[in-house]
Amino acid sequence: MAKEMGSRLGTGEILFTEMQARMITVLVPYDQLSRTHGAMAKAQPSTHQILMIESSSMLSSRTWHAQRLFLLLSASEHFAVELETEGFTVHRVRASSLRAGIQEFRTAHPGQEIIATQPRSRKLQSVFDELRIDVFIDDSFLTTREQFASWAAGRKSLTQEHFYRWQRNRLGYLMQGSTPLGDVWNLDNENRLPPPKSGYQWPTPPTFEADDIDRSMLDRLSNSEYSLWGSPADETWATTRAGALQQLSWFLANSLAGFGPYEDAMPKETWSAHHSMLSPYLNLGLINPQEVCDAAIERFNQGDVPLASIEGFIRQIIGWREYINGVYWLFPAQYEQSNSLAAHRPLLPLFEDPAATKMACMKSTVSDIEQRGWAHHIPRLMLLSNLALLSGVDPQEFLGWMRRVFIDAADWVMVPNVIGMGLHADSGTMMTKPYIAGGAYIKRMGQFCGDCQYKPALRVGDQACPFTTLYWDFLDRHQSDFAGNHRMVQQFSGLRKLNNLEEVKTRAQEVLSGLSDGTV
């Protein structure tokens, strides 16, 4: 296996003075664009050179969202140019695969030592192990894999709230000694307001003007043979660290205060609501969670940001994001193939084409993703994943789609979120119950139902909301799977009270057929 250099020192550092006799090559993947962490932290132009490999098999392996591929290529090239400006020699290698690129570089530079930061996917980890790449601990995360494994050891369940409180105590955010600020750990109950009915002014996110590198990548993609989906890149996403920091500053000044109350809301008037849109930059390494959290706390200390808003935001970073990364590396590689509910329906046409559905919420959400490669966490969970789970879509097909179309997608993000949380395909290893809901939740938290031909209160008939129909049908189909789950007692009690279950089941088959045909 690849040696994790620095882990024996406990700090993620390596004694560079031992290696200054010869140039060291730092391999920089697309999602490790940090100058201050991992293998790049102590690198200097006088002792280190940079290797960046473009894998044709990765770029052509699937139908990527055009903006996702653009961001990967443009951000990587911007980072390379910044390193060259600093004085580094940057070797850009185009190869059939990352493995082939490393081997070609070694052939051209025999005896050259190659180091890297811990990879963020199991596939890349296997390549590093096979080729004996020395790796540094990925200290851009606030929790190492070993720390998470230590926290998880011996626990009957990996309750995220318990991890979050452990993180608060360990990292000191929003704490007064050992007591949480405000004497409460979690203010999620205050952060569930539906969208305001009218007159609310949502902030308009910043845009980022394309530079020469961006335009070059746009031209390349427009003339390439790559299979792309979605709208070409516009000015929605930054491709540099400076742009990512600009987005952070904008969020803190304009959206952090309103983030908490409307965190779960799905308004029609805005695609971004009060969300930070920082996930693509965090996941590429352009910014890091510590600087984000520190800046948010500094903004909170100015006195005009509610505790519920700062707590909810900090929880997303040190609680959920770190938890998901820990779970990804804790669970075995075969976890990705889990399908405990035996769901085998092919991916629904509406996920590829928003015109292939009459459901207003799904048409709107998939259109947003098609346009920008992004939707916030509630549409991802309670619309996209909820429908995939209720309709029995194959977890691996849905996971593949999520990987392809979201601009912030990464293996460590998507595998636990889809397999564990979204589709409950892991027998409850990660979450104790499935996240499912009927049309009533979508009506309460969104603004879609008024313009939809389907009615959330109806579970049978041509106007019945597919979510409502499939919710009850799902519970009926999976009674034996969740018979001993105490958290679902109320839901199954409601199922037993239905006086038209057979009609619901009949309508469910019509809905499922229509979803597969693209006519519902």
Contacts of 101 (CB under 8 A, 6+ apart): 53, 54, 55, 93, 94, 95
* Residues near 517 by beta carbon (within 8 Å), at least 6 away in sequence: 349
Annotation: CATH topology of 145-203+255-330:
1.25.40
Provide the token pair at 367.
Answer: 């259109």
Task: Give phi and psi for 277, each to the nearest 5.
Answer: 55, 35
Alpha helices, H only, 190-235: 212-222
pLDDT of residue 22: 79
pLDDT for 7: 40
Cα 165 to Cα 181: distance, rounded to the nearest angstrom: 12
DSSP 110-121: TT-EEEEE--SS
Treating both helix axes as pointing N-terminal to C-terminal, what angle do 489-497 and 466-477 enclose, rounded to 10 degrees?
A: 100
CATH number of the domain at 4-136, out of 3.40.30.10, 3.40.50.620, 3.30.1360.120, 3.10.20.30?
A: 3.40.50.620
* Length reported for the chain: 520
DSSP state of 192: -
DSSP one-letter string for 377-445:
HHIIIIIIIHHHHHHTB-HHHHHHHHHHH-TT--HHHHHIIIIIIIS--STTSS-SS-----HHHHHHH
For residue 136, report the phi and psi dihedrals to the nearest 5 degrees: -95, 150
Per-residue pLDDT tens digits of the chain, which is 520 residues long: 444 444 433 333 444 434 433 799 999 999 999 999 999 999 999 999 999 999 999 999 999 999 999 999 999 999 999 999 999 999 999 999 999 999 999 999 999 999 999 999 999 999 999 999 999 999 999 999 999 999 999 999 999 999 999 999 999 999 999 999 999 999 999 999 999 988 899 999 999 999 999 999 999 999 988 999 999 999 999 999 999 999 999 999 999 999 999 999 999 999 999 999 999 999 999 999 999 999 999 999 999 999 999 999 999 999 999 999 999 999 999 999 999 999 999 999 999 999 999 999 999 999 999 999 999 999 999 999 999 999 999 999 999 999 999 999 999 999 999 999 999 999 999 999 999 999 999 999 999 999 999 999 999 999 999 999 999 999 999 999 999 899 999 999 999 999 999 999 999 999 999 999 999 9
The SS3 of residue 92 is: strand
Q: Which residues of 142-169 are buried (b: 16+ CB within 10 A; e: fewer)?
A: bbbbebbeebbeeeeebebeebbebbbe
Q: Considering just the CA atoms, what is the radius of gyration of the chain in Å?
A: 24
* DSSP-based three-state secondary structure for 13: coil
CATH 1.10.579.10 fits 337-517, yes or no: yes
Q: Where are the domains of the chain?
A: 4-136, 145-203+255-330, 337-517
pLDDT at 10: 36
What is the separation of C-alpha 422 from the centre of its chain, rounded to a whole number of angstroms? 12
- What letter represents residue 426's amino acid? D
Pairing mode, strands 175-176 and 179-180: antiparallel
Q: What do you get for the CA distance between the two ends of the chain, in Å?
A: 50
CB atoms within 10 A of CB 67: 27
What confidence score (pLDDT) does residue 13 get?
Answer: 41
Q: State how far the Cα of 209 lies from the Cα of 206, in Å rounded to an integer.
A: 10
pLDDT confidence of residue 6: 45
Contact 246, 206 (CB under 8 A): yes
Helix (H, G, I), strand (E, B) or coil at 297: helix
